[in-house]
Amino acid sequence: MDYYLIGAKLGHSYSKIIHERIGLYKYDLKEIAEEDLEEFFLKKEFKGLNVTIPYKEKVLKYLDEIDDKAKAIGCVNTIVNDNGVLKGYNTDYDGLKALIQQSGLDFTGKKVLILGNGGTAKTARAVLADLGASDILTVSRSGSNGTINYSEANLMHKDAYYIVNTTPVGMYPNVKDCPAIFFDDFKMLFGVTDVIYNPPVTEFVSKAKKLKIFANNGLYMLVKQAVRASELFTGIKQDDSLTDEIFKELSDSLSK
């Protein structure tokens, strides 16, 4: 096998389905324990990788080159083995930007909250800054290292315009879990995004929709970043319609 998604636990992933639909190479899921990462990268027995939780930051030390955008963000989710030279990219940026833009909202000068402080949170911060948000706050359980905690978010930042959940809280199989944000108190909240795509409707998304708040999940992001990753793997540019086609097919199959 030449191309993989690597992560700690991958039972929730649709990446194999998406890359097989793209149809240009064989692709598989590969769960790797953190203590085995170094040996895996030393062997370089792959042509390309996607990287997910919890390794998007941890893989940086194994790379020979890092794309400027990925370097600025501080995490990588796509790696290309170019004749033994490992090059890192962040195609999550492309996916998340496209997903958030679907909201049709104007972020200029707005306050946004990002739940979580991992690699995807860093990507979300870059995307929202580029979309014009001026006040971007990261929310974590501890409230340390430049973040605020959930109590502070709920009590002091009820004027948030948008909230992005980048945590795995609510992801399959723990589908009843939900980040501790009290939507009823956020009277200026116009939209939310949950990067989780399995289940299609998380508790986070469900609670927002019940209050008539725009809400979307992470499936479109997943497809878009995969198509962009395939372009880096193969050098073959894909039409934008491919993302929409795969997204619709996958959405339809999941709703049955």
The domain that contains 117 carries what CATH number?
3.40.50.720
* Residue 56 known to be catalytic: yes
Task: Note whether 202 and 174 are same-domain residues.
Answer: yes
Task: Note whether 42 and 132 are same-domain residues.
Answer: no
CATH number for 10: 3.40.50.10860
**Above 90 in pLDDT, residue 68?**
yes
**Above 90 in pLDDT, residue 148?**
yes
Average pLDDT, the chain: 96
HEC-encoded secondary structure of 15-70: HHHHHHHHCCCCEEEEECCHHHHHHHHHHCCCCEEEECCCCCCHHHHHCCEECHHH
Rounded to whole angstroms, how far apart are CA atoms 28 and 6? 9
Task: Note whether 102 and 205 are same-domain residues.
Answer: yes
Convert the pLDDT of each residue in 210-237 to its tens digit: 999 999 999 999 999 999 999 999 999 9
- By residue range, what is the domain housing residue 28? 3-90+220-254
Catalytic choice (47, 56, 111, 209): 56
Number of domains in the chain: 2
Q: For 214, what's the count of Cα atoms within 13 Å in the CB-facing half-sphere?
A: 15
Task: Note whether 70 and 33 are same-domain residues.
Answer: yes
Task: Note whether 210 and 234 are same-domain residues.
Answer: no
Task: Note whether 29 and 40 are same-domain residues.
Answer: yes
| Alpha-helical segments (H) within 104-171 | 119-130, 150-156
Task: Note whether 161 and 234 are same-domain residues.
Answer: no
Q: Say what the pLDDT of residue 12 is.
A: 87
Task: Note whether 74 and 51 are same-domain residues.
Answer: yes
Rounded to whole angstroms, how far apart are CA atoms 46 and 59? 15
Convert the pLDDT of each residue in 120-142 to its tens digit: 999 999 999 999 999 999 999 99
pTM: 0.94
Tokens 């030279």 belong to 85
Rounded to whole angstroms, how far apart are CA atoms 133 and 190? 13
Task: Note whether 25 and 39 are same-domain residues.
Answer: yes
Share of the chain above pLDDT 90, in %: 95
The mean-pLDDT minimum among 60-64, 182-186, 251-255 falls in 251-255
| Alpha-helical segments (H) within the chain | 15-22, 37-43, 68-73, 92-101, 119-130, 150-156, 203-210, 219-234, 240-254
Task: Note whether 63 and 40 are same-domain residues.
Answer: yes
